Amino acid sequence: MTVIDFSAFIGRLATASGETILPFFRTSLSIDDKSKTKDFDPVTEADRAAEAVMRRLIKASFPQHGIVGEEFGNEREDADYVWVLDPIDGTKSFIGGFPIWGTLIALLHKGAPVYGMMHQPFIGERFSGDNGSATYKGPSGERRLQVRRCASLSEATSYTTSPLLMNERDRAIFSRIEQGARLSRYGGDCYSYCMLAAGHVDLVVETELKPYDIAALIPIVTGAGGVVTTWEGKPAQGGGRIIAAGDARVHEEALKLLNG
């Protein structure tokens, strides 16, 4: 099957997960802490229920495929096709009642992300991409996503979810980006990457990401004309320290600062 063939099925996964999550949003739901350290890493019933629904659909339709998920681990991760799922990226925003979270669904073929979707069911937005193009569907209709030109970091709007998520050394390195950017903002999780693909943000810099945090966003950003790598300039689907830029010039300048 081609990516085009899979796109309708990915839409089904998004719809099913959204229908599962929404009854929990802005309610009094129980919250568990997955972290074994002092850092708060919340997970809710909505996270688990949405991933379970998507896993059931994948296993019923493509039993030979692998699955990598945030809540229930990995199955057949060495298969040619692997689904990478993050039922709620931005759980801290979710439990706070803010709608800047989304369901991330990625399809990997032989280890490389070939299709990704970010679905925000409360707002009714879907951002999807296949590396060659990227699309938005939402309340304002449907349109192609395109990054914007930005000649230098000094003209750029930069986002990170929070510098507090970085270790002390990486936080100090990241401060070089903050000092060089025209505007530096916090928050967003997956939404920052989608806003970059839509041409509203120029740079996203993160650390400590897992594969399910980034895999779905790579085909969206690259499909819109952007660049996503690690801080070392390597492929980003394995997670870690990630940098995404809408303009290759900003990406190059930021990489030099991060590795200077």
CATH code of the domain containing 52: 3.30.540.10
Task: Indicate if 249 and 176 belong to the same structural domain.
Answer: yes
Q: Is the pTM of this model over 0.95?
A: no
Q: pLDDT tens-digit profile of 109-146?
A: 999 999 999 999 999 999 999 999 999 999 999 999 99
Task: Indicate if 196 and 94 belong to the same structural domain.
Answer: no
Which of residues 99, 120, 142 is at a domain's end?
142
pLDDT for 36 equals: 57
Q: Is 123 labeled as ligand-binding?
A: no
Task: Indicate if 123 and 169 belong to the same structural domain.
Answer: no
Sorting pLDDT into bands at 50, 70 and 90, what band is 5?
Answer: confident
Quick one: average pLDDT of 86-97? 93
Task: Indicate if 184 and 122 belong to the same structural domain.
Answer: no
Q: Is 213 labeled as ligand-binding?
A: yes
Which residues fall within 8 angstroms of residue 219, CB to CB, at 6 or more apart?
106, 113, 114, 115, 116, 128, 129, 130, 131, 134
Q: Domain count of the chain?
A: 2
CATH of the domain at 188: 3.40.190.80
Task: Indicate if 123 and 159 belong to the same structural domain.
Answer: no
Task: Indicate if 33 and 131 belong to the same structural domain.
Answer: yes
Q: CA-to-CA distance for 160 and 203, rounded, in angstroms?
A: 9
For 75, the enclosing helix (H) or strand (E) is strand 73-75
Which residues fall within 8 angstroms of residue 164, CB to CB, at 6 or more apart?
171
Sorting pLDDT into bands at 50, 70 and 90, what band is 44?
Answer: confident
Task: Indicate if 75 and 175 belong to the same structural domain.
Answer: no
Which of residues 142, 169, 189 is at a domain's end?
142
In the predicted structure, residue 39 carries a pLDDT above the cut 70 = no
Which of residues 111, 142, 173 is at a domain's end?
142
In the predicted structure, residue 226 carries a pLDDT above the cut 90 = yes
- Average pLDDT of the chain, as a whole number: 93
Question: What is the DSSP-derived secondary structure letter of residue 198?
Answer: T
pLDDT for 73 equals: 86
Q: Is 45 labeled as ligand-binding?
A: no
Q: Which of 51, 55, 123 is nearest to 88 (CA)?
A: 51
Task: Indicate if 101 and 163 belong to the same structural domain.
Answer: no
Q: CA-to-CA distance for 224 and 24, rounded, in angstroms?
A: 32
Q: Is 88 labeled as ligand-binding?
A: yes
Sorting pLDDT into bands at 50, 70 and 90, what band is 34?
Answer: low
Quick one: average pLDDT of 9-27? 95
Q: pLDDT tens-digit profile of 201-217?
A: 999 999 999 999 999 99
Give the phi and the psi of residue 144 in degrees, each rounded to 5.
-80, 140
Q: Which domain holds residue 172?
A: 151-257
Task: Indicate if 123 and 175 belong to the same structural domain.
Answer: no
Percent of residues, the chain, with pLDDT higher than 90: 85
Task: Indicate if 132 and 10 belong to the same structural domain.
Answer: yes
Is-contact 129 224, C-beta < 8 A?
A: yes
